[in-house]
Amino acid sequence: MRLGYVTKEEVRNLTGLTDRELEDERLDQIIQEAERMVEIYTGKAWTETDSEYSQIQTVTRMLAASLAYEAIPLTEEVHGKAARYHELAVLLLRSMRVTSSAPLKTA
């Protein structure tokens, strides 16, 4: 089994969300979903030996942050954060020229 691209701690540091706001089990699911999205839309599983691996880690953190904000109740403080992180992830993937033609949201 391969290691994930990011850790819960990295996503928590990025979002500032605590385990009271988003439980660890749910965050694990969110990270797995973000990693799956990256692999689907880039068409590959990434490894540390790939030259763009650190950028993929950044994209995965941003997607996980987006999904995390979507998973918690909407408040004025978090309004728009999910969309902003998603947009940043898409921009980075496009700049890397590794996206497929499909949209970067899954149902």
The Cβ of residue 1 has, within 10 Å, a number of other Cβ atoms equal to 3
Please give the Cα distance from 11 to 29 (Å, whole number). 12
Residue with tokens 């089994």: 1
By CB atoms closer than 10 A (0-12, 13-18, 19+), residue 59 is buried
Please give the Cα distance from 9 to 26 (Å, whole number). 13
Q: For the chain, 107 residues long, give each residue's pLDDT as a single digit of tens.
A: 457 999 999 999 999 999 999 999 999 999 999 999 999 989 999 999 999 999 999 999 999 999 999 999 999 989 999 999 999 999 998 888 776 555 555 44
The DSSP call for residue 77 is: T
Give the residue extent of every domain in the chain.
8-96
> What is the per-residue pLDDT for 100?
58
Do 16 and 78 form a contact (C-beta atoms < 8 A)? no
> What is the per-residue pLDDT for 46?
93
> What is the per-residue pLDDT for 1?
45
Query: Distances in Å between the alpha carbon of 72 and those of 38, 45, 78, 81?
Result: 22, 28, 9, 11
